[in-house]
Chain A
């Protein structure tokens, strides 16, 4: 046991040294993108494995963006699948009906972007009731929103109604998923370490107090909802073009629950936690596939046990050093040093 622990600590030290280099992120990004492009062009990887990697990326986008509302802002939104549906339908309608057949690959990012913007607009509309309602009632509002999106889509015949929408080409490739995943993680990470963080965290801790401290709670909520739903829409667009088929039933409350499980498994208010949660959950579901229906019995059971024994998830409220700004690390180091020197002073 102790040797295991020692090995872990040496590994951790190496990891911290590695991530400490200034060039770590650029090198990691370029290497990752090169790897994805290579896999996509030369195809030395199983298609099934590629698909799993694509789902991992999409789930990371969904989890990180939902964490902005549920983890950092402390509201409880269950409507994420609704935003995803909006993005998926907007992007698919563009690629199926509007774009010329020859230029699909070139215009694909535009379609995804349009899906994200559509979802962001809807997210803006959902942010408005969040000014007045909060807690359980906001959860119900977002849930009602999710159901409304689903039943509206079911009733519009132009988008296929309950039968769904077909005819997308398989445009979602590994490099694109990598790009959008990296972008969403980068944007949300920078957002939660910007000045915006103070507003969003103060809303989580006490909304009335933060209002009194002249935090513009409405603005903060709008930004959080718009950014979060924008990325959910992007994930939806990618999802639609990976699966090449969507119907309204895919985006019901079960999908939202899936994303919630990933958020709370990984840990609230933690970017690294969201990534870990999304990766573990997606891969675990694939590994457990031989169990058939029983896999869907164990998953909720895991969630319940998780909530009872570790309600904040794997990385709850903690952040890996990889995503923490340098000044936060040095501040903490200084604080620890001070505490060591004068332990009686309540720091």
Chain B
């Protein structure tokens, strides 16, 4: 590491504004912070808080219609705003590097992974053979093996975790003084997240670069950064040592962010359903938590084969009436396929039985399942207003309420009814999707990662809404997520899918206390360890 005088990053009074049509949107207002050499600094905020814009400003990679001004904006002693095109390229190549949010999109899909790393070495003057050897060493350094095989793979042939390791290897190839980590683990499973962050920590100790970790995930940032800045609508509302900000937050916004976190140690919200769950625990092997009624859904020997691989292997379980069954597993474990099978959206082998009385004898049977998908954006017709969407759902599901009543019951204000999906926020869109599922009396609602695209505070509000709706209507949920903390908050029982097999199915508390399968244990460990750092 070069001896450095003063901080690696100095930002004073940074203001960034986007010009769109006639109006100007200020993304960052008077931001001031500094990062010392070798230090890791965390920038926390919800989407739209300007945290990514702050990072991109350091690289000066901003859209052409952007006004950027600062008293000082220096990285590694270089005043970023004064660089000419050629110098800017050299600065990007040598001084800083970025690890991106979605490694699958950040890598060129038509170039083998090794070549994308080698490109950086070539840029720094290595010849073809040297670059090849260096990139194999870089792949080894991010602990991917065997390097020769990995180097020849294309991005789509790598898992999300492997892709991110390649991006890290690529970023560190230029021996940067500053590494910007822009939501590096969002979208990855919690176990992979733990591994990636551990890798970054150890590489930082080894290579002593400074880092800026940008995330909406407070516990994650707390676990890996020495200092934290909290951004809200482009303004730094709080800054301090990680432990101080998290354990003794001064600003109300920081406090609300912390309060919104799903708490790993506490089970579901108290109330009527907690009682139901206790009953379920007492006879934990029984079909459902409600002793009076038989199970709503009985799944037996469910197997799903795609062209080459098997997504589900001989899965059997039941969902009780009014029960919330949580389902966790990493991406590719088959949890979404299981949801699709229950919804009748894909073919399968085995049997799925619903024990539902026909509520409208003689007429077309009403759907028994509704699904709330992960990506509300993609599941709403972009050309239908909220009112049209809800009215259609009420009609199809034989609902008795009006659009206004339905909207009110899901916390959608009446003035949103005339709007189109793109005019809504992520949380509002997901509320519309939920309202659609509750437009009639459907016995089972499948929630497939309903909050994974949302900020913590939107997530907390949405989970509250789902709990409230469940209490009011008594539906059953199949709640699919990769986040164990979220699942624990809402579920009576939790099933763990691993490589298409249901390896564990237990009451929510038991999963945490007596996990048997090694995969479940690793899930619990990584979930708990992230949060333990919080309270430590």
- Is the A/B pair a real complex? no
Instruction: Tell me the A residues contacting B by CB distance below 8 Å.
Output: none
Instruction: Tell me the B residues contacting A by CB distance below 8 Å.
Output: none
